[in-house]
């Protein structure tokens, strides 16, 4: 490979930077370095590239910047915290903001999901939830429960536990068989539900796949069932009507824990704080990340039922570590300060309510594209939607080209294969929705 460098023109100075040393994640690196898509500034609904071009953010960064970019309240809170306390060992030591943020998060979670374990990402939150499930069953004297059930087309992060749960083949194929004892239910993306806003009428019966695994492996061997309420990274797959409630019933009948991965769905994306509340189903554990700090600091968390927490606690000897797990940066002071400031913004600005009010306009605007010849499907729920384009040659090729063209035309969205994922910040107004959809339409017509 030849040497790659880029001239950056920003507010500070014009300077040369090398592109060789950084290995970018989930990116065709050689292609990027031949034609960089560089961002140097962000504020509100917009990014600016290195040439001064303005780009509207149609995917909240990566589904995390729900309160919009450049929130000074968060930056100032983190700065104050770093000057006061930059780090404390999280094992056998604590700091007040860990407990304050856990209390604030627990006020938002449904049911008795009132015990909060902090991680640094959604991937770590998923692996933590797996360990909690295993520890809970062991504490109950059911250590044989080691099988996990997930779904095809699921995405649960990139750590080895999450990769094993994943139902996206490209996330798995390079890394061997992964963890043993993982079973995958079928996904719910059915042709009968194409071009349906909200929950589709077909597919509730696919929840019976969990019952098939009960009959195949024995309920006494199954620890937990992991699902994204709306499958996110795979392409905004909204569950069929009654599907999540049926999973809850099967789990309750057979002692299986139900885990919702709300890393994308959480913090207002579905019109409520969490999708669990939007769909009226309370899980036993719930993972979150992204919107917990508005993307300003790395942080994830697991919300755990009091029943599960107390069972694990009671099984440990007095003075012993009850749950042998954690990370150097669990509950780091900086992300905790960012999280508290972010929750204040959500509350004070009424952003969840704003998103819920804008959702019908947003979905109607997306569905206005359904008759374009290149469009294969449109779907969505709340402030989260997806547009599939018909493949052109190799799967994903046309979608990849489209997302690059959209960026060049002033729109950032996340692409997965031939799907464009649209999830604007909750500060969006109708004019921003119009701008996003207008750019989408022009690019789709020209594709």
What's the mean pLDDT in 409-431?
97
Distance, in Å, from the CA atom of 338 to the CA atom of 58, rounded to the nearest integer, reads 23
Average pLDDT of the chain, as a whole number: 96
Residue 377: is its pLDDT beyond 60?
Answer: yes
What is the CA angle 288-292-294, rounded to 5? 130
What's the mean pLDDT in 363-385?
98
Residue 2 pLDDT: 64
Residue 392: is its pLDDT beyond 60?
Answer: yes
Residue 393 pLDDT: 86
Residue 3: is its pLDDT beyond 80?
Answer: no
Residue 443: is its pLDDT beyond 90?
Answer: yes
What's the mean pLDDT in 15-38?
94
Which residues of 222-308 form beta strands (DSSP E)?
222-227, 257-261, 285-288, 300-304
Residue 279 pLDDT: 98
Residue 178 pLDDT: 84
Residue 83 pLDDT: 98
- The model's pLDDT over 286-338, given as tens digits with 9 standing for 90+, comes to 999 999 999 999 999 999 999 999 999 999 999 999 999 999 999 999 999 99
- The model's pLDDT over 81-124, given as tens digits with 9 standing for 90+, comes to 999 999 999 999 999 999 999 999 999 999 999 999 999 999 99
Long-range contacts of 264-267 (CB under 8 A, 24+ apart): 264/63, 264/228, 264/230, 264/232, 264/233, 264/290, 264/384, 264/423, 265/228, 265/229, 265/230, 265/232, 265/384, 266/290, 266/291, 266/292, 267/66, 267/291, 267/292, 267/346, 267/352
Residue 15 confidence class, pLDDT cut points 50, 70, 90: confident
Comparing 15 with 45, the larger pLDDT belongs to 45
Residue 171 pLDDT: 87
Comparing 447 with 253, the larger pLDDT belongs to 253
Residue 12 pLDDT: 57
What's the mean pLDDT in 372-380?
98
Residue 199 confidence class, pLDDT cut points 50, 70, 90: very high
Cα–Cα distances in Å, from 211 out to 15, 155, 207, 361, 432? 60, 22, 8, 38, 44
Residue 177 pLDDT: 78
- The model's pLDDT over 117-153, given as tens digits with 9 standing for 90+, comes to 999 999 999 999 999 999 999 999 999 999 999 999 9
Least confidently predicted of 161-170, 265-274, 353-362: 161-170
Distance, in Å, from the CA atom of 238 to the CA atom of 230, rounded to the nearest integer, reads 5
Residue 13 confidence class, pLDDT cut points 50, 70, 90: low
Residue 261 pLDDT: 98
What's the mean pLDDT in 207-236?
98
Quick one: DSSP state of residue 241?
T
Percent of the chain scoring above 70 in pLDDT: 98
Residue 172 pLDDT: 87
Percent of the chain scoring above 90 in pLDDT: 93
Are 154 and 234 within 8 A, CB to CB? yes
Comparing 169 with 77, the larger pLDDT belongs to 77
Residue 4 pLDDT: 83
CA 414 to chain centre: 12
Residue 75: is its pLDDT beyond 80?
Answer: yes
Residue 20 pLDDT: 95
Q: Which residues contact 342 (CB under 8 A, 6 or more apart)?
A: 67, 71, 74, 291, 292, 293, 294, 296
What's the mean pLDDT in 399-403?
96
Residue 11: is its pLDDT beyond 70?
Answer: no
For residue 153, what are its two tokens?
Answer: 């087309």
What's the mean pLDDT in 225-238?
97
Residue 18: is its pLDDT beyond 90?
Answer: yes
What's the mean pLDDT in 238-264?
98
Q: Enter the pTM of the model.
A: 0.96
What are the start-end ranges of the H helices in 85-187? 96-108, 122-139, 160-165
């Amino acid at each position: 490979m030849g040497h790659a460098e880029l001239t950056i023109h920003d507010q500070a100075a014009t300077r040369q930077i090398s592109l060789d040393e950084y290995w970018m994640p989930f990116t065709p690196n050689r292609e990027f370095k031949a034609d960089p898509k560089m961002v140097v500034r962000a504020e509100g609904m917009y990014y600016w590239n290195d040439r001064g071009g303005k780009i509207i953010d149609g995917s909240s960064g990566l589904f995390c910047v729900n309160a919009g970019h450049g929130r000074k309240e968060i930056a100032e809170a983190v700065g104050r915290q770093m000057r006061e306390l930059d780090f404390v060992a999280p094992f056998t030591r604590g700091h007040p903001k860990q407990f304050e943020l856990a209390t604030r998060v627990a006020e938002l979670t449904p049911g008795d999901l009132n015990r909060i374990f902090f991680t640094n990402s959604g991937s770590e939150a998923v692996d933590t939830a797996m360990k909690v499930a295993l520890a809970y069953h062991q504490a109950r004297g059911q250590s044989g429960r080691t099988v996990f059930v997930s779904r095809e087309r699921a995405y649960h992060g990139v750590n080895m536990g999450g990769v094993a749960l994943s139902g996206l083949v490209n996330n798995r194929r390079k890394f061997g068989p992964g963890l043993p004892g993982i079973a995958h239910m079928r996904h719910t993306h059915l042709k009968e539900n194409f071009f349906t806003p909200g929950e589709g009428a077909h597919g509730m019966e696919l929840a019976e796949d969990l019952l098939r695994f009960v009959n195949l492996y024995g309920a006494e061997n199954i620890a937990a069932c992991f699902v994204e309420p709306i499958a996110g990274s795979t392409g905004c797959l909204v569950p069929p009507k009654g599907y999540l409630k049926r999973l809850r019933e099967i789990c309750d009948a057979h002692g299986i824990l139900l885990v919702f991965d709300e890393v994308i769905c959480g913090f207002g994306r579905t019109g409520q704080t969490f999708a669990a509340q939007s769909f009226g189903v309370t899980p036993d554990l719930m993972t979150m990340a992204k919107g917990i700090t508005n993307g300003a600091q790395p942080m994830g968390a697991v919300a755990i039922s009091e029943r599960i927490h107390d069972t694990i606690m009671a099984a440990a000897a007095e003075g012993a570590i009850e749950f042998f797990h954690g990370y150097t940066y669990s509950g780091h002071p900086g992300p905790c300060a960012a999280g508290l400031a972010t929750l204040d913004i959500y509350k004070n600005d009424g952003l969840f309510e704003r998103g819920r009010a804008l959702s019908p306009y947003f979905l109607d605007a997306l569905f206005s594209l359904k008759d374009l010849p290149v469009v294969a499907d449109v779907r969505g729920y709340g402030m989260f939607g997806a547009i599939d384009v018909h493949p052109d040659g190799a799967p994903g090729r046309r979608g990849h080209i489209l997302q690059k063209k959209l960026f060049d035309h002033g729109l950032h969205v996340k692409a997965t294969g031939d799907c464009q994922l649209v999830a604007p910040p909750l500060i969006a107004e109708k004019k921003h929705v119009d701008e996003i959809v207008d750019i989408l339409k022009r690019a789709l017509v020209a594709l």
